[in-house]
Structure 1
């Protein structure tokens, strides 16, 4: 080998050292941090329907192997059902059926996953290197306006209650309803019973979750709560102005309360361009599907062609991992690094950012934070420390 060739190889070797050290640094920071995801819909999308995520699952965003690769420590499992019940027994029965399915998964895999009910349970599970499962009930409609059912869900392990989903309850108005039907609502915000629900959640050690709620409900709930709140899966309105994201004054209110906002990964909540294109397509949907159905007279084929067309039109507008971290950056710059976390909404969303394709990709967030100059202390807060602080103050 001639001298020039040796010199070239040496230059290549030494130039790669900073990159290798950086990658090792990111891995070390990520492994040492406690990673908590505030929201995942895999119960509803998979477990409740008989899929076993303890084994590799080809579709969807979540399974045990990918969680391990992503370095997850604690997962809030969302218990969700539509405004119309799936069970003839009602919405509360749906919630219990989903908790049953999570319990069964845990019983089959005791060496891998454990249900936590207390702050100490969480720390114990992390020390045992297990996935720590927490239950979040996504929608106050599942208590069926009965405070005793709220208490029963707490006994089953519920550790946050999202006061509304997109649908309002008789005692709390949702973001969707306040946005689309604000002028026709009988009331906005919490009723006296709604404030009683918030007080009962505080008493029971259940986090008040303000994702999905309308602005009036949001402020009413913060005023009624004596403990820090969580916004389990929302992003920043000033970056992506959609009804589900939080505005600057809401971010400041959460910070004043000592709570935490967990950033949602859905492309339509991360990127303004993606959200605008999606809205444009939805206005065109009926025209498109009517045309396809007239030609095929096949409803399944019509849906298939619409979903293919929609994906093709939006794919190039998918945001990136960097765009997600912009939302984290925004909150940190507005109120500091104590009030933001991760709430992916994996397996509950139809489009994810490039670089965050599934639960194995969490380390990419750490890498981006390192790239932007975040300290190890700040990264530990963002990945899970802030949510853990709120849990400790409430459970």
Structure 2
């Protein structure tokens, strides 16, 4: 870990030219010198569903593409590998999505590189390339097979979200535990325990975003490595079933893990759900028609938000609402346990000002305005996550 800390200092020093006049640093100076990491982006879902090619300009279609990541100062992207928990052949879908990233990397070796560990990640950042890893969203994608879990790790998956909303049969999700009155058993099964032990042995991070509370506490009891919540926010500020309660946040901090805050308005603003419901009720006839024509509900909502952008903008919470979640975690457990897990391209509406990945610097600006020091901002933007990644790796 000491080696990693020294290497981080060297990389951040190399990212931006020295300020010879020693003028006070602007938020852009801090942002450009920091290692900026986002642990959850769903662009691979759109390569599967819509055939988008993200080394092309996708402005207006998606939140993300290769050039816009660079414009936003992003250094490290964890690419979510996802399909709905009820989808058949999910392991094959996972591999197709991984193929999509591999193809982009092969076409753009001067811009993006897949990395296997924290040292390779930092070398990529030093070379001014985006460092890419996978995070598999949902234990159903290993299809009940530990060999498939290891195969995904070997392809570059560095975390597994144990559940999505529709969970595997070996772990209960937040949706399971809060909405299923017939649920008799909660948490990890015997096979689920094997998954946790296998992940620890591989050096693969355990992601508790979407996990039910009993699953969460089973993990805390079992794991011998720090865990992550790759895209979760604070329950006490927004009472979504999949946000983290104070005792969970404290447990993650005690475990040495990190919580990467989710940008979705529904997970950061308690008033958003009612506003969104009213929006879709106003456009119910059009929305129903689109769904009946075969459009997925999520993409129908995305379509309507874009078509009625001025109206949708009125229900988007301010950027400050997201920063409040960072503040809350810092005040509750300290600066070392929070980071960014945007969920870009897995969410169809964002906070105001965060229109796409080019707007990451506005988060740094907001943190400066809240009084965070440069050292603290650097931790939030990336090095907190790097610490956990390094702690999970098998040396």
TM over 0.5: yes
Match of 1:80 among 75, 79, 82: 82
d(CA) in 2 for partners of 1:65, 1:171: 40
Task: Return the offset for 1:222.
Answer: 1.5
CA pair 221-310 structure 1, distance change in 2 beyond 3 A? farther
Q: Which residue of 2 aligns with 1:260?
A: 258
CA pair 56-301 structure 1, distance change in 2 beyond 3 A? closer
CA contact (8 A) 2:134 2:159 kept: yes
1:137-167 per-residue CA deviation (whole Å, 9 max, x = no partner) reads 0000000111111111111111000000111
Match of 2:345 among 321, 324, 347: 347
Task: Return the offset for 1:196.
Answer: 1.1
Q: Which residue of 2 aligns with 1:307?
A: 304
TM-score normalised by length of structure 2: 0.86
Q: Which residue of 1 aligns with 2:55?
A: 54
**Aligned pairs (5 A) from 1:1-395:** 25-46=26-47, 49-58=50-59, 59-85=61-87, 90-181=89-180, 183-278=181-276, 288-289=284-285, 299=293, 307=304, 314-395=312-393
> What is the SS of the residue equivalent to 2:26?
helix
CA contact (8 A) 1:72 1:131 kept: yes
User: Mind listing any 5+ residue stretches in structure 1 that lack a counterpart?
Assistant: 1-20
> What is the SS of the residue equivalent to 1:242?
coil
Task: Return the offset for 1:54.
Answer: 1.7
> What is the SS of the residue equivalent to 1:265?
coil
> What is the SS of the residue equivalent to 2:64?
coil
User: Mind listing any 5+ residue stretches in structure 2 that lack a counterpart?
Assistant: 1-22
CA contact (8 A) 1:85 1:94 kept: no
Greater C-alpha Rg: 1
Task: Return the offset for 1:270.
Answer: 1.3
CA contact (8 A) 1:47 1:53 kept: no
d(CA) in 1 for partners of 2:187, 2:247: 17
d(CA) in 2 for partners of 1:297, 1:257: 44
CA pair 49-31 structure 1, distance change in 2 beyond 3 A? same
> What is the SS of the residue equivalent to 1:272?
coil
d(CA) in 2 for partners of 1:290, 1:60: 22
CA contact (8 A) 1:271 1:318 kept: no
Which moves more between the two structures, 322-331 or 272-281? 272-281
Number of matched residues? 366
> What is the SS of the residue equivalent to 1:159?
strand
CA pair 153-96 structure 1, distance change in 2 beyond 3 A? same
CA contact (8 A) 1:34 1:384 kept: yes
Which moves more between the two structures, 186-195 or 254-263? 186-195
d(CA) in 2 for partners of 1:64, 1:260: 26
CA RMSD after TM alignment? 2.6
d(CA) in 2 for partners of 1:222, 1:111: 40
